[in-house]
Structure 1
Amino acid sequence: MSKRTNNRHRVATICRRATGLPHHICHRWAGEGLITRTQPVPDAARAAQRAFEAHVVLVLADRLRHEQAGGALLGFTRAEPTSEGLVLTVHPAMADRVVSELLPRLDTRYGGLRGVPGLRLVGGPGRWSLSGLVDDTCIRLVHPDPTWMPTLPGDQADTAYVWRRSPRRPEGIETESPHASWGEARDWLISRLLRRSSLVNEAGAAHGWANTYTHGSRGVVIEWCCAMGSAQMAERLVRSGLTAVPPGWTGDQDPEAGNWTRYGKLQLGEALVTVRQAPCAEQPMRALRGGVR
């Protein structure tokens, strides 16, 4: 095997593990120069798309927490990332929940907008997409059942469903809280996390779930017990290009950021993804779900 072919194979292997795509697709991308050793998973080219994807992650990480199924920590089993957009395969047991959490709604009891501002579910069976009304962004959804019709929440006394009463135009409160204002570093880093769904899911391989949450809009925490070590997960995420400095990057980067990898802290500018192990909580969680009496 030539050195060039061997390099393509290594890049394709990293891409396959990160995204869940077949090896032959990743190998073809490597041959075409779409992925490289420094960036084995394609980034979103547009800033608005990166912001949209990042907001999707932050909402799902906070809302799903340790209630995932089948190890799909953000609700997705595979990612097909390109510079133009993103296709995500939803876990069938979580598909309805994922869509429901992402659709924007007003909490009339405690105040505030929940979900992703400006996001709408569009299309139909076999061609569903999460579409951003504000900035022409999109994530296409693939379900194992091509006839899947999402079951969405009905009316509730303390919730006003923005997406239902204004399906084609963003309401004022949605344009007042644009996810594009979160910061360049956070959008790059957390968008990349979504595009590495298959690798992220390895943290939930032992029990089918992990604890996920956010530190405001700055970053994401993934906490698990009985899978690979945190240093190993961090190393694989770094190898997949998660913290690679983007082309044309103008932000600050902590020169010591690489030293924190061994502790599961992955930084890009002021943005942070933390991956860490915790004591095994399988029995308490099963009890919480009614699995132990």
Structure 2
Amino acid sequence: MSRRTDNRHRAATLCREATGLPHHVCMKWAADGLISRGRPVPDAESAAQRAFEARVVVALAEALAQERTNGTLFGITGVRPTAAGLGIGLHPDVSHRVFAALMPVLDAATGTLRGVPGLRRDHRGEDGLHLRCAAGGGAIRILPSSPAWHRPSSRSGAVALGDRDAPLHGAERARLDLWARGPDARDRLLSRVLRRPLVLNAAGAPHGRANTYGHARSDLVIEWDADPGIAVVERRLRRSGLAAPAPGTGPPELSSAGIITLGGAKLLLRTVGEVCPAC
């Protein structure tokens, strides 16, 4: 086997292990130059797409922390990532919680906004349910194999904002303005997190849950019981290209054990109860 063919097979294997795509699809991507051994999962090409995917990760991390998600970290069983967009497959037992976490909802009494600001249901097609960002662009779709969209039940005083033609609410604009002040590296890192669910699911698989939360304005923390160990998950994430430098930038950044860094943004991996110096 030639070195080029071997590298293609390795890239395809890493892509399959991170995304859940069939191996033949990943092999075609490798042959077409869409992925490589160093970047085995396609990045979102536009800044707007990366930002939208990053906000999805934050919403899921906040809403599903410590919940049982049937061996999935965010209720995601697989993805189909391309440069232009992202398809997401959901576990049927927790899909209703994922939908509730994504839907922007305003508590009229307190002004508290939950969910992904700007997210709107667009349309359903043969390729799945399309969701878009009403400000700045960006789109994802829930794959057809996933259960139908569940509209979260409205509590008294709660206002659902995610209908297709709903205008942006002031609370959403404020949240989006605040988000836009963050670094692009945060969006790239968190977008990559969303595009590698099978690697992250290893953290939630043994007991069906892991704790996730944001820290500062650029970081995401994932903590779980000791099995599998931090080093195992971190090694798989690095092999998947999570920390690969953005195109046109320098070499990979040096990181401490349990901390994956990209342009100043960090993914912190820790066991439950561990005191993290970076936190």
Report the TM-score when normalising by structure 2. Answer: 0.89
Q: Following the alignment from structure 1 to structure 2, what is the Cα–Cα distance between the partners of residues 124 and 236?
A: 34
In structure 1, the residue matched to 2:215 is 215
The letter for the 2-side match of 1:151 is H
Give SS of 2:254's match. helix
Q: Following the alignment from structure 2 to structure 1, what is the Cα–Cα distance between the partners of residues 249 and 93?
A: 39
Hey, which of these two has a bigger chunk of helix by percent? 1
Provide structure 2 residue ranges, at least 5 long, that are not aligned to the other structure: 274-279
In structure 1, the residue matched to 2:135 is 134
Q: Which of 148, 167, 170 matches 2:168?
A: 170
Cα distance change, pair 169–111 in 1 and its aligned pair in 2 (3 A): closer
| Cα drift, residue 249 of structure 1 | 4.0
The letter for the 1-side match of 2:244 is A
Does residue 265 (structure 1) correspond to residue 259 (structure 2)? The answer is: yes
Q: Following the alignment from structure 1 to structure 2, what is the Cα–Cα distance between the partners of residues 177 and 205?
A: 33
Give SS of 2:181's match. helix
| Cα drift, residue 248 of structure 1 | 3.0
Give SS of 2:213's match. strand
The answer (yes or no) to whether the contact 1:52–1:180 under 8 Å persists in 2 is: no
The letter for the 1-side match of 2:264 is E
The answer (yes or no) to whether the contact 1:105–1:160 under 8 Å persists in 2 is: yes
Deviation readout 1:89-110 (Å, 9 max, x if unpaired)? 0111121211111111212343
- Map 1:1-293 to 2 at 5 A: 1-124=1-124, 127-144=128-145, 148-164=147-163, 167-178=165-176, 179-249=179-249, 257-260=253-256, 263-278=257-272
| Cα drift, residue 183 of structure 1 | 1.8
Q: Which moved more, 1:120-129 or 1:31-40?
A: 120-129
Report the TM-score when normalising by structure 1. Answer: 0.85
Q: Following the alignment from structure 2 to structure 1, what is the Cα–Cα distance between the partners of residues 181 and 52?
A: 11
Q: Following the alignment from structure 2 to structure 1, what is the Cα–Cα distance between the partners of residues 249 and 114?
A: 31
Moved over 4 A (4+): none
The letter for the 2-side match of 1:160 is V
Q: Following the alignment from structure 1 to structure 2, what is the Cα–Cα distance between the partners of residues 246 and 84?
A: 17
Q: Number of paired residues?
A: 270
Q: Following the alignment from structure 1 to structure 2, what is the Cα–Cα distance between the partners of residues 24 and 68?
A: 32
| Cα drift, residue 153 of structure 1 | 2.3
Q: Following the alignment from structure 2 to structure 1, what is the Cα–Cα distance between the partners of residues 238 and 222?
A: 15
Q: Following the alignment from structure 2 to structure 1, what is the Cα–Cα distance between the partners of residues 18 and 154?
A: 38
Provide structure 1 residue ranges, at least 5 long, that are not aligned to the other structure: 280-293
CA RMSD of aligned residues (A): 2.1
Give SS of 1:212's match. strand
| Cα drift, residue 84 of structure 1 | 0.8
Q: Following the alignment from structure 2 to structure 1, what is the Cα–Cα distance between the partners of residues 51 and 208?
A: 28
The answer (yes or no) to whether the contact 1:91–1:143 under 8 Å persists in 2 is: no
Give SS of 2:202's match. helix
